[in-house]
Amino acid sequence: MTLLLTAAEVRPLLDMAKAISLTEDVFAEFGRGRVDVHAPFHLWVQGGALRVVAGALQDSKHMGVRVGPTQGPPDAHVAVLYSSDGPLEAIMGYPFSTFRTAATVAVCMKHMARANARRVGLIGTGMNALGQLIAARLVRDINEIVVYSRDAERRRRFCEEATREVGITVRPAETAREAVSDMDIVVTCSSSRQPLFPFEWLKKGTHLSSVGPISELDPDILMKSNRRVVSSRVQEENYYIKTPPFPLVELIEAGRLSWNDVTELGEVVVGSKPGRSSDDDITVFHESQGGFGDVAFAAWVYAEARKRGLGKELAF
């Protein structure tokens, strides 16, 4: 029998701390070569697209997909979970896509940001932004947060909300440079097709995580950083956004970098490659938007829902 779960039923089952723990575990599984990875893709119609992400986890013996409209709210997403021997275990409303992104960046911060990182600069105030700050506070003792986005009123409202949710004062910045220079951690989550700032704005020791399209990163940041890490090289090579620029792929195709210069987060989590070599290193991470983390979330939520007697049994 297949379990049908609504978004309202599953939403209380997963918090950010658990999401970070599950995400670290699945990247360790990835680092051991136990995850089958596929690049996300979009199915386009006029005015919008359906986003499809997928993955298979060898250790936990689950595979699945998450689908949802690119323009819709997170609650419009659905996850479909199978066990490795074929049964359709669950179809569930899936309100956790922003959790997955934030948890991935938090795992990256845990392994790549300096242990004494205290100051965070954020560029972007979209749907993924608040989760980044909540997650950052769970892996580092953050005591200052500065936020920039182009719309001053939206920036102000976001900082007011974030101050309530995060538990410390979140201050709006008048310029992008104010949210980058002298920060220990910088997070970018824009939709920009142009670089947001130059490499020279980053001080020694800064960790930078990019959540938006990789075009928001200046090529010099990718070239000059001491460590460049992605969620998945396969996903970066087959990036789902089809409109250039693709600075990482373009640098590799031009012979200025190679894929050997790019580390996967799973390698960092299992310790086969370092996240940084010194406190002075400038490190950069790009979140590759993949689906294997969603499968890990769905599998845990399914098991928890079974324990609590949630959902409705269906036969297909």
User: What is the per-residue pLDDT across 65-99, written as a single tens digit (0 to 9) for each?
Assistant: 999 998 777 778 999 999 988 899 999 999 998 89
pLDDT for residue 4 is more than 80: yes
The helix or strand, by DSSP H or E, that contains position 24, with its residue range, turns out to be helix 16-31
Pairing relationship of beta strands 312-314 and 2-5 according to DSSP bridges: antiparallel
- Distance between CA atoms of 67 and 54, rounded to whole angstroms? 9
Distance (Å, whole) CA 122 – CA 183: 10
Domains defined for the chain, CATH in brackets? 2-97+291-314 (3.30.1780.10), 99-286 (3.40.50.720)
Tokens of 119: 């100051």
- pLDDT exceeds 90 at position 157: yes
* Span 90-111, pLDDT tens digits: 999 999 988 999 999 999 999 9
- Burial bucket for residue 303 (CB in 10 Å: 0-12, 13-18, 19+): middle
Kindly state the average pLDDT of the residues 139-166: 97
Reported confidence tier of residue 182, pLDDT bands at 50, 70, 90: very high
30 exposure class (CB count in 10 Å sphere: 0-12, 13-18, 19+): buried
Give per-residue pLDDT as tens, 15-38. 999 999 999 999 999 999 999 998
Q: Cα 201–207–210 angle (5° rounding)?
A: 85
- Measured CA to CA, the distance from residue 82 to residue 69 in angstroms comes to 22
| pLDDT score of 181 more than 90 | yes
Which tokens sit at 203? 């001080």
CA angle, 228 as apex, 214 and 51 as ends, to 5°? 35
Question: What is the pTM assigned to this prediction?
Answer: 0.95
* pLDDT value, residue 245: 84
- Give the CA distances from residue 132 to residues 20, 39, 105, 235, 238, in Å, rounded to whole numbers and listed in that order: 11, 23, 7, 21, 25
- Residue 171, judged by CB atoms within 10 A of its CB (0-12, 13-18, 19+), counts as middle
Give the number of other Cβ atoms within 10 Å of residue 228's Cβ: 22
Q: CA Rg, the chain, in Å?
A: 19
| Residue 268 CB-half CA count within 13 A | 27
Burial of 58 (0-12, 13-18, 19+ CB in 10 A): middle
